[in-house]
Amino acid sequence: MLYANADNDTPHDMPESTVWAEKRDLIDRIPRPISILILGLILVGTWHLVSTTGIVSSIILPSPGQTWHEIITVGTNLLSGGYMFPAIWITTQEVLIGFLLASIIGVSLGILVGETTFGERAVMPYLVAIDTMPKIAFAPLFVAWLGFGISSKVALATFVSVFPILVGTAAGLHAADRNALNLFRTMSASRWQTLVQLKIPSGLPHIFTGLKIASLSVMAGAITAEFLGGGKGFGELIRVAASQLNTARVFALILYLSLLGLSLFAMVSFAQQRLIFWQRNSTRPD
């Protein structure tokens, strides 16, 4: 035998067991649902205290109860097809059309910038220059150009959300694996084949990052345009409620807008999971 059997000649007395408890602090041990619940209760409790003790006027900060009441009122109105329903439908249309346009324009320009040297050298500097401008400030211009209807809102929504998609696409085209690019070269693949069969699929994670950011900012664009350009959307309801000092109503309306934004974000995430299926479960058994 090459090695001595360690069992037979233990050099000193061994205790029966050296099991020990691995300690973690209490704050790191709270399960997720309970953590969320605790913080939520703390926040709502503080809110309730601040608003009911009269430290802050209820016009400035309504109580959680008042806000809840308004959430129910607005929800009932929406579900029963009351006057708020056409408003949220208009805003939904603005957001969806704006997002669709931003996606088409963003991906197209992103390919131009990311794939061609001309795009990178000539188009990109102009786009960066426009991107650094405060885009919301263009709202009055869009209203002046396109009027008080839905199109001026769509235009601003598109304008504020197109850049993340564009940048994501351009970055995505540069994200293709060097070895894979080499492989396509050795296979004598055409530029178009390399773009469609390698660079775009490789870039999808970046493109979707852009789409997700855009799906959140597109709503801000639409609502800003509604504040400034009137119309019959949800932003107008908020503006009216705020002018009547009905703060609880404003809170409730914002909540429903967030739900709308969240569903767009969820749809994009779902599409991402579907399309980039190879990134979901990369198990590599050896």
Partner 1 sequence: MMHQAKMTEGALAPPVYTLRKVSKFFARQKVVALDNVDLVLRKGSFSSVIGPSGCGKSTLLKIMAGLTSPSEGAVVLAGEPVMGTRRDIGMMYQQATLLPWLTTIDNILLPIGIADGKAAARGKRPDAEALMSLVGLKGFENAWPSELSGGMAQRAAICRMLITEPAVLLLDEPFSALDELVRDFMNMELQRICMEQDATTFLVTHSIPEAVILSDTIYVMGTRPGRIIEAVTIDLPRPRTLDMLTIERFGEIVAYVRRLLGEGMH
Q: Which residues contribute to the site for partner 1 (CB under 8 A)?
A: 177, 179-180, 182-189, 193, 197-198, 201, 277-279, 281-286
**Nearer residue to partner 1 within complex by CB, 77 or 197:** 197
Tokens linked to 61: 């900060």
Distance CA 109, CA 271 (A): 21
State in angstroms the smallest separation of the CB of 114 from partner 1: 19
Q: Using an 8 Å Cβ cutoff, are 152 and 143 in contact? A: yes
Q: Using an 8 Å Cβ cutoff, are 260 and 223 in contact? A: no
Residue 194: which of 257, 116, 124, 254 has the closest Cα? 116
Residues recorded for the chain: 286
State in angstroms the smallest separation of the CB of 190 from partner 1: 8
Distance CA 276, CA 203 (A): 10
Distance CA 117, CA 122 (A): 8
Tokens linked to 70: 């308004």
**Nearer residue to partner 1 within complex by CB, 117 or 281:** 281
State in angstroms the smallest separation of the CB of 208 from partner 1: 14
**Nearer residue to partner 1 within complex by CB, 11 or 285:** 285
State in angstroms the smallest separation of the CB of 182 from partner 1: 7
State in angstroms the smallest separation of the CB of 170 from partner 1: 21
**Nearer residue to partner 1 within complex by CB, 3 or 277:** 277
Distance CA 83, CA 236 (A): 12
**Nearer residue to partner 1 within complex by CB, 197 or 269:** 197
Residue 75: helix, strand or coil by DSSP? helix
**Nearer residue to partner 1 within complex by CB, 94 or 115:** 115
Residue 215: which of 129, 96, 114 has the closest Cα? 96
